[in-house]
Chains A and B, each alone.
Chain A
Amino acid sequence: MDLEKSIMSLADARGVSGNETTAAELALSMLKYYTDDCFIKNGNVIGHFGCKGAKPHILIDAHIDQIGFTVTHITDDGFLKISGCGGIDRRLLLAQPVTVLAKKPLDGVICAIPPHLETDESKVPEMEDICVDVGLTKVSAEEFISLGDKIVFASHCAKLQGDRITGAALDDRCGVASILRALELIKNKPLHSEITVMFSTQEEVGERGAKIGAFDIEPDIAIAVDVSFALTSGDSEVKCGAMGRGCMIGFSPVLDRELSQTFKAMAENRGLPYQIEVMSGTTGTNADRFSVNKHGVKAVTLSIPLKYMHTPVEVISLSDVENTAQLIAAYITEVSA
């Protein structure tokens, strides 16, 4: 498995919350290298490993959806009114190129009030003032586009200096890639516990795929592999991790402290770089759902530091993804031994 290629192809696949099919099918095809027992159920990609019924049953999850928009209206002159899917940063929307995932993918540009009519360059447009220019009349637009169609930033993954990668949906496709990489690392090793991998839907709109997925899977332990904030200019050093310094292990009142400590000790014993991410309540990840699944589950977050979250130019370091994969693989190996 070429980690860089996998991350880039996963992050270039499209899958806005609620319509993750393209990205999910790609992830499923990659998961098939490691198990025949894998499928898509209710949108979630599920793969089974190890001994069925053996305890503890471990769930390893990353979300497959990405933020985007949904078409809500076509104006008389053929422009699309839109609503956000997930946390949208409206500061960067003007003149962004987008792809409308209609009957066939259509290119478009986000527009709002032009500079000669809006002299205040610090003004951030309201969502209701934003529309998408697809260069079509209303009649042609309606031929291809249905209300509810999803829209993504038209952005491609690219390499930066060193081992850094930029792209739009690295949140959380790099998490998906790190789990696949962990599976690669434990390939052919005997597993004496039950492991379920899930690439879940609708995290960006409230961890909904995680909720219904976990209900079926009924894990004893759940690991949510997601991204978290790497320090960027103007942000708080206390809140953020550092890019290139390894996986961020979550410590929070809603996470299982013993599990967090286990990961920390394991990273130390194996010489893997890691960082502690302290959160004072819920984590904003799928772990929040997992921990209260059915009668309760021990949960932890493993986060890959990422800069510029939810922009079309998110940035990660390849080494952080690799180190996160090493940590996941180490955990599975130890628990399953």
Chain B
Amino acid sequence: MTVELLEKLCMLNGASGDENRVRDFILSEISGYCEYRVDPLGNIIAEKKGKSTSSKKVMISAHMDEVGMIVTSVKSDGTLTVSPVGGIDPRVAIGRPVFVGDSDIYGVIGAKAVHNLSADEKKTAPKFDALYVDIGAEDKAAAEKLVSLGDFVHFSSEFIHFGDDFIKGKAIDDRFGCAVMIDLIKSELPYDCTFTFVVQEEVGLRGSQAAAYRVAPDFAIVLEATTAADIPLASGEKRCCELGRGAVVSYMDRSTIYDKELYGISRDIALKNGIKWQTKTMVAGGNDSGAIHISRGGIRTIAISAPCRYLHSPSCVVKLSDLEDCEKLAELMLEKMCTM
């Protein structure tokens, strides 16, 4: 996976339900390398021919959407109230720049000056219903010329390389998975594989439900980003997983109890091929596996995740080596599943 590709994907704005720009970019990337269709929900279902065809059908999936916000009203002073789309801690929204609507109007999520806060206010972060976006409009009429109710709001966040091979950006969850899949589609694969770039993961694993139904695979691999808490304030099992320790494969999270055999196989394959592998030390989080593994009569599913600090914030942080480990493991798991 090239970092340049990941950067392009992360810089695109695509909250759940507003994945058009991400989808268009992905289609332009994979066009010519596979057969694809876009389903009624907006999922991309791409059929990639490999060197051989297996009797087992494998689906690799990643979601195109990111967490964001949606405009719910325009106030008399020209500011916009918003609701979160997906799980956002309001504390990572306050004091940030954002883009509003299809034309990416620049705005900020302001906050009453710290000087004017009461002692209680200083100690209590505002809830989402107290936040608002200021695009600089003088009043309601001026704002309404530019913004409509239901417009999506995205974080503005630079994609940067920092420290020892770390990357910071928005939407790494799950454009990282999209980048790996684009890369695999462009490469020569040992077996046929179906790739699904799905919508609306962040609002309840919705796109993947429809995609898994249509594809009806025997096996599924979900590529994701998962919470790492390897920071000084968390110790022991509370760290969940750590950056630099490789691909994360869970035995269980809040949406899925993973296929035990696949879990073991992934560890064996990683070990044999010098791929760093780790599991989570807490049952936390969830991903499209939750919808996919109970699709139709049940689909054997594994999730391969990149450990990510500050997930669902505009400043997701991942380490390059982990992304590479995830990609290698996904490719080898595909090969293994096709011969099971």
Contacts and interface: CB of A to CB of B under 8 A. Distances in A.
B131 to A, nearest CB: 9
A96 B122 CA distance: 18
B89 A313 contact: no
A235 B112 contact: yes
A131 interface: yes
A122 B95 contact: no
A34 interface: no
Interface in A302-337: 307-313, 315
26 contacts: A89-B114, A91-B95, A91-B111, A97-B168, A97-B314, A107-B163, A113-B233, A114-B311, A115-B227, A116-B229, A124-B124, A124-B125, A136-B164, A140-B163, A154-B158, A159-B106, A161-B135, A166-B108, A234-B130, A235-B116, A239-B116, A307-B134, A309-B115, A313-B97, A313-B108, A315-B108
Contact of A160 (B95, B107, B113): B107
B79 interface: yes
Given A116-B284, A158-B97, A161-B136, A308 B111 contact: yes
A281 B231 CA distance: 44
Nearest to B314: A95
Given A122-B125, A124-B124, A136-B164, A94 B313 contact: yes
Contacts of B94: 91-92, 311
Q: Most chain-B Cβ atoms within 10 A of its Cβ — which of A88, A122, A161, A309?
A: A161
A284 B116 CA distance: 12
B202 to A, nearest CB: 14
A15 B315 CA distance: 24
B112 A232 contact: yes
Contacts of B95: 89, 91-92, 96, 308, 311-313
Contacts of B263: none
B238 A117 contact: yes
Given A116-B229, A124-B122, A308-B95, A137 B164 contact: yes
Contacts of A36: none
B21 interface: no
B166 to A, nearest CB: 4
Contacts of A95: 92, 310, 313-315
Nearest to A234: B112
Interface string B198-238: 00000000000000000000000000000101111110001
Contacts of B77: 231, 233
Nearest to A80: B232
Interface string A94-112: 1111000000001111011
Interface of B: 75, 77, 79, 89-92, 94-97, 105-117, 122-127, 130, 132, 134-138, 142, 146, 157-158, 160, 162-166, 168, 227, 229-234, 238, 240, 282, 284-285, 309-315, 317, 319
A114 B130 contact: no
B135 A160 contact: yes
Interface in A257-299: 284
A311 B164 contact: no
Nearest to B161: A107
Interface of A: 75, 77, 79, 87-92, 94-97, 106-109, 111-117, 121-124, 129, 131, 133-137, 140, 154-155, 158-162, 164, 166, 229, 231-236, 239, 244, 284, 307-313, 315
A233 B112 contact: yes
Contacts of B231: 79, 111, 114, 131, 133
B133 to A, nearest CB: 10
Given A107-B163, A115-B312, A117-B229, 19 more contacts: A89-B117, A91-B94, A92-B96, A95-B92, A95-B314, A109-B310, A111-B231, A115-B227, A116-B285, A133-B163, A134-B162, A161-B136, A166-B106, A233-B75, A234-B112, A308-B134, A309-B113, A310-B114, A311-B111
Contacts of A158: 97, 106
A313 B115 contact: no
B105 to A, nearest CB: 7
Nearest to B163: A135
Contacts of B284: 116
Contact of B315 (A97, A114, A231): A97
Contacts of A94: 89, 91-92, 310, 313
